[in-house]
A and B are shown apart, each in its own frame.
Chain A
Amino acid sequence: MSVATGDETDPQRATLFGGIPLESLIACPQCDALYVAHMPAVGERAVCERCHTVLIAPKRKAGLKIIALTSAVIILVAAALFFPFLTIRAAGFGNEASILDSASSFESGPMVLLALAVAAMIVVIPLIRTLLILYVLIPVVADRPPYAHAKHAFRLTQELKPWAMAEIFAIGCAVALVKVADLAHIGFGPAFWMFAVLVVIVIFNDNYMCTWSVWKSLELDQKEA
């Protein structure tokens, strides 16, 4: 049970594996069990029998939905960056912080590294992912050949996925609010609500994405072109 493209043959030439065309085979990315893929009906899922990883999960008009939701994410992130996020008042003193303020709150010495990492995880990486997803999917949905390097772009979005932590930042906000609740009066800025909506969208969006279908459409378009 090994990867279908074979150890001995050139992957370009190895189009058959045991008499079955390579495009119709799918190896579970987690446990390497090999299957002959049947496209499940829309709304159904193909699941690996051995380790229960979801292999294929097509959704109705998924491409269009993902593009709509990702566009919303970009608008919300951009807006949430500049509006105040949380405000605080105590004993006549007040302060407000935006998301960028939070990211840049680690100022001195090696803490700057942490500031960069936090900024990357809550703003930069989610934003890069959404832009790349748009870049890959817009031509696919419009029935055009994919843009240059679409494959690299899509692979990058998959690799960056665990490092996009916007939803964890949202939980962090909730914890921070409770921590200072008896120290001062806390108010929500407009950016807070934008961020809350954004987190919900990100979760829905990941649910719509079926990587197998995307790869398949990228490949089909390339052959026609």
Chain B
Amino acid sequence: MRTERCGRCGSHLQSRDTGSLGRVWAFWLAGLICYVPANLNPMLITQTLLSSSKSTIVGGAVDLIHHGAIGVAIIILVASVLIPVGKFMAIAYLAVSVRRGSSISSARRHHLFEVVEFIGRWSMVDVFVVAILSSLVQLSVVASIHPGSAALTFALSVIFTMLSAQAFDTRLFWDTKDARNETT
């Protein structure tokens, strides 16, 4: 299939992006690989007068629950665990459904994709929290907070999954349905 330039905005025109699914899976895998160390390594290193503690993403949320800040703990858990895991599963399901067809309607799958794309950016909230805390809490010996290596891998994981969602050619959802209708 030949590609043309759009007469209006100059971007590449392609009836269907044939390389789309390949890029989706590549970024998806890269995101998943980064997500594993992001959960195993410490996100925050807190040093107070008496002690030094390292906390992972889930560990930090558990600490918050012990302090009684359940609302914030839920925000962190949703943004850093529920959304990324849900996103990995949703993109994988959508990519498979384009190839194999699905019992769920095109409109439903398109809707799911829009939710994934809208909500994915919000996972960055935890990285920003680490950035704010480690610049603000620098009180010499009393208390100081430093970023752990998980901040980097988690940010990479979010960026890769955003790229994965952006690589998806959403028109493919509707094609499979049309193609099936035409053949029957």
Contacts and interface: CB of A to CB of B under 8 A. Distances in A.
Interface of A: 1-3, 5, 7, 10-12, 30-33, 50-52, 86, 88, 90-91, 93-97, 101-106, 110-111, 113-114, 117-118, 121-122, 151-152, 154-155, 162, 165, 168-169, 171-173, 175-176, 178-184, 215, 218-219
B173 A183 contact: no
A102 B147 CA distance: 11
Interface string B142-175: 1100010101100100010010001000110110
5 contacts: A111-B151, A114-B151, A151-B8, A168-B121, A172-B126
A52 B140 CA distance: 55
Contact of B128 (A169, A215, A219): A169
A59 to B, nearest CB: 21
Contacts of A90: 139, 142-143
Given A50-B107, A171-B125, A179-B72, A105 B135 contact: yes
- Greatest chain A CB density within 10 A among B4, B10, B126 is at B4
Given A5-B13, A105-B134, A184 B128 contact: no
Nearest to B68: A182
A97 B132 contact: yes
B125 A162 contact: no
Interface residues of B, number: 60
A5 B7 contact: yes
Interface in B53-98: 64, 67, 69, 71-72, 75-76
